[in-house]
């Protein structure tokens, strides 16, 4: 990170709308508010410009996809430049005919694109039919970089991942080993509204716990903005998804620094101490003690 000892980070939790212009207007209003309050880094949730369209498989939805650069990135770029912030946004990316990605885009303070991350792990579950829409990100780029490569910015090296990636310790570890200073998980996750309260509680706590575990295991702060609101199933076959919010920011020992509720739009703002990771790694030296000579089987689908 830069020489400043404190980094002000904001995570935006918002409800989304079928009208892309209206959703982006909400995003812009919340980003402006965060910047006014002193945020250096503002992080938006997954697919914040639209409703979560993966509840069904519908080829007409591909009309929502945009190239990079494109209208949404142009708007976010101008916003980052005007406010002088580093901004992490989300785009349904049209890379070429038949190849679409769920892509996080990082904008520098001058509005330039510092880097992109294309979601690597793609779910295919009831209500989350993402494999129909998204091609997984490249495991290795043309220049030899891993898909799990932090994005260098003026506020530090950002380990940007997306939603379903948050369940995989391998992704967090590879970002940490590549020098990430913060793990960032833009998210769109919620409940089947017909699930009973006990099942809803188990799912939510699992989601929170696994990400706090990544913070602990890698001695890194974690930022996880999620959406809120009930979004109907376009097919009418289910009662839709209630996105559970609970966006949070935790420190490198998994300690909560800020956490939102399950219903309201909210801006989480924290001041991260840049030296904390180094201090924690001196007393919990996990990276020193890793037995890399014994982990060969981790790259196998299953162990024989």
As annotated, the active-site residues are: 46, 119, 163
Q: Tell me if residue 35 falls in helix, strand or coil.
A: helix
Say how many Å lie between the first and final Cα of the chain, rounded.
Answer: 43
CA distances from 254 to 17, 30, 95, 157 (A): 33, 26, 36, 19
Report long-range pairs for 26-32 (Cβ below 8 Å, ≥24 apart).
26/265, 28/75, 28/79, 30/265, 30/267, 31/79, 31/83, 31/85, 31/87, 32/79, 32/83
Total count of residues recorded for the chain: 304
Closest CA to 159 of 188, 122, 111, 117: 117
Distance CA 145, CA 158 (A): 15
Eight-state DSSP code of residue 146: B
Give DSSP secondary structure letters for 59-93. Answer: GGGGGG-B-SSSHHHHHHHHHHHHHT-EEEEEEEE
Distance separating alpha carbons of residues 263 and 246, to the nearest angstrom = 8
Q: What tokens does 145 get?
A: 């970089």
Q: Is 265 helix (H, G, I), strand (E, B) or coil?
A: coil
Q: 82: closest CA among 43, 110, 108, 107? A: 110
């Amino acid at each position: 990170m830069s020489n400043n000892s404190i980094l002000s980070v904001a995570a935006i939790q918002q409800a989304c709308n079928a009208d892309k212009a209206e959703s982006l207007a909400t995003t812009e209003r919340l980003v402006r508010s965060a910047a006014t309050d002193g945020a250096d880094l503002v992080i938006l949730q997954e697919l914040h410009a639209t409703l979560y369209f993966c509840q069904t498989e519908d080829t007409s939805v591909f009309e929502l996809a945009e190239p990079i650069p494109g209208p949404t990135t142009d708007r976010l770029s101008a916003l980052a430049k005007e406010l002088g912030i580093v901004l992490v946004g989300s785009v349904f990316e049209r890379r070429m005919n038949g190849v679409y990605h769920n892509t996080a885009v990082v904008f520098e303070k001058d509005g330039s694109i510092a880097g992109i991350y294309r979601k690597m792990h793609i779910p295919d579950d009831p209500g989350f039919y993402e494999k129909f829409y998204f091609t997984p990100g490249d495991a290795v780029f043309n220049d030899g970089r891993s898909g799990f490569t932090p994005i260098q910015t003026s506020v530090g090296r950002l380990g940007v991942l997306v939603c379903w990636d948050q369940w995989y310790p391998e992704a967090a570890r590879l970002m940490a080993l590549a020098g990430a200073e913060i793990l960032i998980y833009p998210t769109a996750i919620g409940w089947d509204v017909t699930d009973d309260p006990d099942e809803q509680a188990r799912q939510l706590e699992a989601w929170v716990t696994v990400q706090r575990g990544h913070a602990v295991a890698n001695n890194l702060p974690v930022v996880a903005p999620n959406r809120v609101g009930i979004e109907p199933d376009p097919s009418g076959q289910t009662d839709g998804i209630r996105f559970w919010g609970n966006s949070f920011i935790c420190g490198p020992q998994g300690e909560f620094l800020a956490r939102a509720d399950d219903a309201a739009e909210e801006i989480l703002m924290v001041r991260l101490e840049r030296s904390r990771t180094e201090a924690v790694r001196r007393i919990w030296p996990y990276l020193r003690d890793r037995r890399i000579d014994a982990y060969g089987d981790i790259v196998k689908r299953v162990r024989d």
